Structures are given as structure tokens and as C-alpha cells.
């Protein structure tokens, strides 16, 4: 079922629900500049076997309102959007799965609105904490000195935004997915192109937005709040992660109270078919009975 939810004056978000309505809600929060359709259909269906799945388009993505250029917003406001979606659907508490920027928004929810979450699952994201990372040998590394983004991704992201024809834009997006996927699982360019073509059809155009990259990120650090977290939290470690390379996931599990770590073999900063079964199994095991 699809609908639109008003989250702010003149801002509407596209929302989709799937799965039995009488099962616990599971909210999927995608990353920056990514439509909710970036959650693959097969993965959503696997999770919907046990949950009422809710996914949505952030502002400035998909069918939601593209509003940043006329009304700039700070990135934390997008965490408020997630709560507004739950409110509109009558959901008091939900399991929340966040990827990349969505993982940061989920951390804000953990810190600021823990009573709204049944569990949290975080993947492909960095910690909103200044606590150092403690390595296996006991050595400490300042959070700001953990490994950075793969240089090839930095190069692609630094290219100036420009209008392109549809096929040229799809070429760029496929290359983006290739870099995000890492090098441990064979890259399926045709599947990536088909996904992006669906997203273009869903959105109604193939323009790109840089809104989330331009949004103010001030005030997002939550070191103290995350340290005393009591919401059951699962951190997914991805060995081929190019945006938040190892040991970012280990660091995340260290700074969030009670968090536990699970590794999905071969996973990068993408959700190819090869990770759907192990990832969904880990999430469903984490949410079971809660």
C-alpha cells in the first residue's frame, strides 16, 4: 500500500507498507540521495514475512517533495521525518533498520527517542561519537582518524552536478553502484541498471539532487547518549565496505551500549542479491520476540 505523509509545511513524503498489518512494524531508512526503492524488492519481501515493512522516500528523493533549494533544512530534521512517518501510520514503536545516512538518523533516534524503537540495526555508517576506537591490541585510534572513503568514490562525488541524458545518467549511477559494492562479490551491472531505471520511473525524472550533501550536520554528535543506550542494537559489519571501511563497524559496536556485531560475508556499501539471505536472517533473528 502506498500513500503520502505530510511531515512539514509543504513537504510530503512517499511511503509504502508491505507485509501483515498485525505484525511488528519495521521501518527502513535509506541513505543520502537514495529513494526508498533502493531497498531491493527481494530483501523487503524476506523481511515482510515477519514484519509490517515501512519504507519511504526522503525529502529530495523519489516521489517525495524536493524542497531543499527553496527551504534548506539540517540533516537531523530527516530523523524527525522518520518519526512523522511512524506517527502518520499509527506506529508507537518500531524496529528500525538504517543504512549509511539512514544509520546516522537511526542513531539520532536511539539517542533522542529511544522509547520509539523496539530494536535498531545499523549498516554502512559511522558512529555519532567522539569516543576512540580500541583495536584488538588495545591501541586506541581517535574517531576522526579512522579510515576514510575510497578515493575513487571521492572522485566520483566531486564531479560537478550537470544535466545528462537518461542513458548517460544511468551509466553514472551504475558506476556509482560498482564502486559502492566493493570487490568481494561479482558486480551485476544489469541488475544495478534495472534498479536505477525503476527509481527513475518511480521519481518521474532522472535529475539528481545534492541536498543531503549540502544539509547542515551540526549538532549530531551523541557520544554520551549512545554510550548508555538500552535499545537492542545490531551492527552489520561489511568486509568490502568502501564508505566506512573496517574498523568503523567495530567502532560503532563499541560506542553504542549493548550493541552486538554480525558480519555479512562479501558485503560492501550496497545490497546485491548475494547478501539478501544472510542479511535478512540476521535482522529477523535480531527482531524476533521483541
Closest by CA position to 256, among listed 239, 231, 236: 231
Closest by CA position to 255, among listed 130, 145, 98: 130
pLDDT at 290: 75
Domain that holds residue 270: 2-148+210-287
Peptide bond into 257 cis (omega under 30): no
**Residue 244's CATH number:** 3.40.50.1820
pLDDT at 24: 97
In a domain, 99, yes or no: yes
Q: How confident is the model at residue 183 (pLDDT cuts 50, 70, 90)?
A: very high
In a domain, 235, yes or no: yes
Q: How confident is the model at residue 120 (pLDDT cuts 50, 70, 90)?
A: very high
pLDDT at 289: 79
Q: In whole angstroms, how far apart are CA 58 and each of 29, 47, 122, 286?
A: 8, 21, 18, 25
Q: Which residues pair with 27 in a beta bridge?
A: 54, 96
In a domain, 178, yes or no: no
Q: How confident is the model at residue 45 (pLDDT cuts 50, 70, 90)?
A: very high
**Stretch (H or E) spanning 86:** helix 77-88
In a domain, 91, yes or no: yes
In a domain, 116, yes or no: yes
In a domain, 184, yes or no: no
In a domain, 198, yes or no: no
In a domain, 176, yes or no: no
Overall number of domains in the chain: 1
* 3-state secondary structure at position 64: coil
Amino acid at each position: 500500500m502506498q500513500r503520502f505523509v505530510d511531515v512539514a509545511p509543504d513537504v510530503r513524503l512517499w511511503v509504502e507498507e508491505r507485509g501483515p498489518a498485525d505484525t511488528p512494524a519495521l521501518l527502513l531508512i535509506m541513505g543520502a540521495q537514495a529513494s526508498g526503492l533502493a531497498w531491493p524488492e527481494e530483501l523487503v519481501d524476506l523481511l515482510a514475512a515477519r514484519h509490517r515493512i515501512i519504507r519511504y522516500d526522503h525529502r529530495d528523493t523519489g516521489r517525495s517533495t524536493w524542497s531543499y533549494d527553496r527551504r534548506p533544512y539540517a540533516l537531523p530534521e530527516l530523523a524527525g521525518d522518520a518519526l512523522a512517518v511512524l506517527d502518520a501510520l499509527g506506529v508507537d514503536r518500531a524496529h528500525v533498520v538504517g543504512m549509511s545516512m539512514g544509520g546516522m538518523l537511526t542513531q539520532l533516534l536511539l539517542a533522542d527517542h529511544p522509547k520509539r524503537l523496539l530494536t535498531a540495526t545499523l549498516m554502512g555508517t559511522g558512529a555519532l561519537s567522539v569516543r576512540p576506537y580500541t583495536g584488538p591490541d588495545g591501541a586506541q585510534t581517535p574517531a576522526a582518524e579512522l579510515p576514510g572513503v575510497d578515493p575513487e568514490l571521492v572522485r566520483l562525488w566531486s564531479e560537478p552536478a550537470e544535466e545528462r541524458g537518461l542513458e548517460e545518467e544511468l551509466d553514472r549511477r551504475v558506476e556509482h553502484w560498482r564502486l559502492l559494492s566493493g570487490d568481494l562479490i561479482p558486480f551485476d551491472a544489469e541488475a544495478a541498471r534495472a534498479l536505477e531505471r525503476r527509481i527513475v520511473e518511480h521519481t518521474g525524472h532522472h535529475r539528481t539532487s545534492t541536498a543531503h550533501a549540502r544539509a547542515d550536520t551540526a549538532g549530531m554528535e551523541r557520544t554520551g547518549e549512545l554510550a548508555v543506550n538500552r535499545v537492542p542494537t545490531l551492527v552489520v559489519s561489511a568486509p568490502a565496505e568502501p564508505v566506512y571501511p573496517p574498523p568503523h563497524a567495530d567502532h560503532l559496536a563499541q560506542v553504542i551500549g549493548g550493541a552486538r556485531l554480525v558480519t555479512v560475508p562479501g558485503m560492501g556499501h550496497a545490497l546485491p542479491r548475494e547478501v539478501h539471505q544472510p542479511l535478512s536472517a540476521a535482522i529477523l533473528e535480531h527482531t524476533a520476540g521483541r
